Each structure stands twice: as structure tokens, then as C-alpha cells.
Structure 1
Amino acid sequence: MRRRLTLLVAATTCLVLLAFLVPLAFLVRQVAADRAVSRADDVVRAIVPLVATSDAGELELSLSGASVPVTVYLPDGRVLGAPAPPTAAVRLASAAGQTFTVDGPAGREIVVPVVTAHGTAVVRTVVPRAELTDGVGKAWLVLAGLGIALVLLGLVVADRFARNLVAPIAELSAVSHRLARAELSARATPAGPPELREVAGALNHLAGRIQDLLRQEREQVADLSHRLRTPLTALRLEAETLRDPDDAARLADAADAIERAVTAIILQARRRGSKRPRTGCDATAVVSERVAFWSVLADDTDRAVHRELPGTPLPVAVPADDLAAALDALLGNVFAHTPDGTDLAVSLTARPGGGGVLAISDSGPGFPQSAPRRGVSGSGSTGLGLDIARQAAETGGGSMRVEAGSDGGARVVLELAGPLTMA
């Protein structure tokens, strides 16, 4: 923008200078020519009276002292003064008795007829072309220098103006990029024209409003999550009253898992807005533990669980809590949206270059078309399960895709990037 403003001012200045200096240059040349012709004409007019009143000797003496070369053609054919053959203009002036000014190869020729007692004499002089343009070159150089100086001055002023205009815009752009990187403390300094100051104020107000909304969201999530601790405590107490130790242990483990998830939500809400260190986990351990947990429910609902897990640790750039939440969300979708007896499969394979590929598939009816969109579900759910899995995959630079399985069911694939650090 700064360059464009400078070029615009330069172009405008050049056009104005051309419109002013070109006519002025022609005028200077015309004035110089008129001055030279006027000087020669004055000399000729001074000689004209002498032609009619003086004899040849006196006239020759006057011609020799003239400041410009003057030739007099007498009626008897004699030529006095500067020797020059009669030209067509001289003959025409003698015949017509009229004064002429003619441009010729040598310059501008001035002829004046004089009527004497012996006939018509003609006084002639020539203004050389060098005298017609005397001083014009210097004047044009001065005009060109003046034009260049004005253009340079205009460029300096335009650059200064553009810098004062572009600097606040660049600052606004930098602040907007910082806000996009979740640096919500970034603020713009109002500067520049009133319009830019107004934009800076609006951007600062927007940043403050975003901070207020995020603070309210964190407080609401933390409050809501904290309220869940009371029913979880009651659930744990109820589990302790069960007579079957296996059922009691299973219910207590479920309550502990929910409590861990609630704690993670509270911590995440409190840390939102600040940068978190990227941590990783052993995907093999997390997936094995969560599949074992859901296998109990699968047995109760007559579902076969096909698992394909590596026998060695598989590090990925996803925190253990996030990966467990993603897997719980995907497996929960299978149990919630497929009929009992529907088989499911969980596979985890290493990815070339680091990381792994986690795939969850089932032989059910598949996903509705709107399923991949957050908050949209065709089955009466919240529609957030897939989004939780997507965010978990993207935490470490991975991705998620939803596709149809080989048997017509649903298949969700999480691309998990390799870790930076292990948690």
C-alpha cells in the first residue's frame, strides 16, 4: 500500500508538471525568438530613414556600425552592407512594396521596402537560428531541474504520508494475527486517521469482549463440572453397597473414570487461553485399557469386539486423557447408535515416520450425512462425539476422517502424529 500511494502521488505530480512545464517550455522558446526578431527589427527600422535621405557613402558607414548584419538593395542594383544575393522575399518586397518576415534555412529573414526618388530600395536582415533559440536550452534545463525537484519533493511527502498511514494498518494486522494465535492480551494503539483509530478501538473492544466471554465460559464449565462431583460421590457410595464384588469394582471404576474426566475438564477450562506444553502418551496402553473397559458392556449386549493392537508401546503426540476421551466418545457412539449384537472392531497400527493410525469400525447402519458436523446429529444425540475425537487427533497435528466400512457400517480413522515429549 505504501508503494502504491507513492506511485500514485508520483504519477499525479508528473501529470501536473507536464501540463504546466510543456506549455511553459514552448512559451520560453517563443519569447526568445520574439526577442531576437524584435532586436533585429529595431536595427532595420533605424536604417530605413537613412536609405531615403542619405547618399551611398553615408549609408554604407551607417550599415557598418549596425549591431546586426543589414543589406540594402538600391534601385540601381547596387548592394550595400553585408553582401548577400537578392532572395525571393527581397524581390517580392520590391515589387509589392510590403514588409515580409520569412523563415528560411539560415534563420528568420526580415525585408522592408523603402520608396526613394530613384525607385524602391529594400532593407534586409537575417536573424540566425542560433539567436532565435539563444538561452532556450538553459531555460529548459532549469525547468527540467525544477520538475525533477518537485517530483522528488512529492515522493518524499508521499512516502512520509504513506508511512504514517500504513504503520497503524500494519500494527492492526499484527494485533489481529496475535489474537488469532489466542494472545488475547494483545491490544492496538489508536493512531493515524480517525477511521483507523476507530478500527483500533473496535478491535480492542472485540479482544476484551472475547476475553470476557471465555472467562464466563471457563467459569460455567468449571462450575458445571464441579457440580458433578456430588452425584459421583453418591454413585461411588452406592457401588460400595453392592453385594457382588465384581459389580461393585466395575461400578467404582466407572465412577473413577467419570471423576477423572470431570477433573480434566476443570483443568482444561482453567488453562484455556494459555499455551499448554504438547505432551504425548503410549497409545497402545491407552487403547488397550479403554477397549478392555468397553468389552464388558460389549459382552452384555452380545457384541463381538475385534481388536488389532500392537504388542509394543506406540508413542503419539496426544495426551492420554484426550486419547481416552476420544476413544470413549467413538465407542460410545457405537453402543448408542447401533442395535445390540452389532460387532465392532478397533485397530491401532504404527504410521511410517512416527505416530499411529487408530480405526474404529462397526457393522451397523453407518453415519448420517450430517454426523461430521459439530452439534448436528440425526440420531437425537448432541453431535459432539466426533468433534471430541477430531480435536484430540488435531491436538498433536493429526487428523480425522469418517468413511464407510467394508461391510456398510461406519468407520472412523484417527491419524495420530508422533510425539514431541512423553507424559
Structure 2
Amino acid sequence: MRRRLIQSTLAVVLVVIAVFGVSLVIVETRTISESARERVHSEAVRLASIVDSRLIVDEQVTAEILSGQITEDRYAVIRIPGRPAIEVGDKPEGDVISATAPGEEGETVTVQEPRSSVTQEVARTLLIIGLVALLAVIAAVLLAVRQANRLASPLTDLAETAERLGSGDPRPRHRRYGVPELDRVADVLDSSAERIARMLTAERRLAADASHQLRTPLTALSMRLEEITLTDDLETVKEEATIALTQVERLTDVVERLLTNSRDPRTGSAVTFELDEVIQQQLAEWRPAYRSAGRAIVSSGKRNLRAVGTPGAVAQVLAALIENSLMHGGGTVALRTRVTGNQVVVEVTDEGPGVPEELGARIFERAISGRNSTGIGLAVARDLAEADGGRLEMLQAKPPVFGLFLSRTPPQKPEDTDRQTVR
């Protein structure tokens, strides 16, 4: 591109120089020739007037007297009637410029100048024009190189930015070049980089959330399948298979929920459901793991409560809290249900040391963990709770108490809102 810009600019300059330079040379040549003729004619008229003035007073007219009256490189011939011709200066050879002026006493004065003087003057003029043209070409080349660099360097930089985007590096560069069109391209690339960065972050977050959320259900499902393979009792097989199918449905719900949250965390499918069923389901799934650890998990509080939310999402939130207590807590884990105002609260507590003071409210941030864990369980749990209009909070640090707040009022449908607006 640089070469093309330089070549095109240089071509334009050369065309302009050719058109105007040739015209200027022709005009200057004619002007110099006309000026030489006028000078010679003026010289002849002036010399004729001198001869007239001397003839009128009967003074002598000789070559010696007139030699100081003409320019050194010119030749003059004075013809006076009845007298021999008077020659002043050296007669030039070759082509000459000649002019004749008559006098009042009948004499004629002819002045000649060699054309070589005109040729030399034309050559000097052509040399000046040539130097000016050369300077114009040099200036044009320098300007073209600068302009080419100004345009080509940003394009190269933009190409590198696009290549970086294609190679998976979506960091915006925020570079501008002072050219509106190129700055517009840079704006689009930076916007694309930011969108790609958000998409990659969402994809990585989805992968991390899926890995964390699916790990425990898959482990429980594999345990159920192992029990099926180790028993010959048909009733036990049916019971375990039914539980396994329920867990598969929960896995499907978890995957759909994660995909929904990855697209729009505000999107929920909240319904009214029996809270006791979800709690008892979690107790049944986690008791084997707690028995293996020599611990217990129990439930207490009000029964037959109905809450608004997505049963699968609520189950995942409770599973995250129960797993957190299993990994970081101690003693018996208790799930207590209570009612406060228009909300149902499920509290999960244990007898462990609690949340370290340095963590505090940051316990719900991603990658924040008190021990060697992923640090995303509680963050995902809070996102799931908020997606259904609820909230997850740490009510107490020592001993740890986490509360899941769910609404008791069914969600209002859009058509109901429209009817109220019309009324």
C-alpha cells in the first residue's frame, strides 16, 4: 500500500510538472526572445537619435565616437546618405537578432545581437525551472512517504488487532490515529473485543459453574448405580433406579438452569412449590455422605411451607450450602425453616468454626475460599437465588448461619399487569 500511495502521488506530481512545466518553458522562451528583440530595437532607436543629434549640429559621426554608446556584445551599422557605412563593434557570426531604426536626417541604424545570448538566458531559465521541478518532486515524495506511513501504519496496527482477536486475545487496544475512517474501524474492533471478552468470560464461567454444580449429583448418581449393580433384590433395584432417574432429572434441570443463567441471569421460571419436598430430597441425598464422615444432617422448623422459585434451583442452592458445611464445617448440620413477613427462610447451620474474619462478606465472591476449594459454590448459589427473586445471605459468621430467602407470593403474570393498567 505504501508503494502504491507513493507511486500515485509521484505520478500526479509528474503529470502536473509536465503540463505546467512545458507550458512555462514555452512562455518563458517566447518572453525572452521578445525581450531580446525589444532591447535590440531600443538600442537601434537610441543610437539613431544620437546620430541625428550630431548630424544636426554638423559634428563628426565616427565608429570611435559611437563605440561607447552600444552594449559590448552588440554590433551596429550606421548608413548615412553620401557617406560610407560606419560599423561599431564586432560582427557576430551565425544566427543573430537584428533591428533597424531610421533617423530624421535619412540615416538608418541597424543593431545586431547574437542569438546565443538569448539561448544562454533560456538555458538559465530552464535550469531554474528544472531545479524547482526537482524540488517539487522531492517534496512530493517526502509528503507521499509521510502520508503513506500515516495511512499504512494504522492499517497494519488494525490488522494486528484483528489477528489478536482471532487468536483469542480480546483485549481492546483503545488506539486512535486521527483519521476518522480508521478511528471508526478501531472503535468497531474495540467494541468487538469487549463483546468477545464478555462472551469468553461467560463461557469460562459456565464451564466452571457446570463443573462445580454437576460434580456432586454425578457422584451421587454413580453411587446409586453401583448399588444397583451390587444387589439382586428386584425391589431395591426399582427403588434405586427411581432415585437415579430423579437425580437425572435434577441434572437436566441443573444444566438448563446454568445455560439460562449464562444467557441472562435475570431470567427465571419461578413457580409455587412445596419446600418440604426439596428439603427432604436433599436430606436423603446427603445423609450417606455425612454418615461416611461420621456426622449428621437434620431438619427442623415449620412444615408444609410453600415458596416461590424454581425447585431445581432451590435444590442446588441448598446443596451448595450443605456441601459447604460438609467440607468446611463440623458437627451436625441443621436445616431450619421459618417465616418472616411475606418470605420463607431456610437456614443452614453447623457446629464448625465458622467463617474466618478476613473473608466476611466476600464469602460470596468468586474465587474466594477459606480452604482448597474452587471458591465458586456460594457465588453460583447466590446467582441462582437472585434469578428467582430470592436472596442468599450470611446471617451469622460464628457459628455459621446462611439464610435462603424465598417469596411466598406467586409471581404476577404480564397479562395481569396489563389488566390492572387498563383498569
TM-score (norm 1): 0.45
TM-score (norm 2): 0.45
Hey, which of these two has a bigger chunk of helix by percent?
A: 2
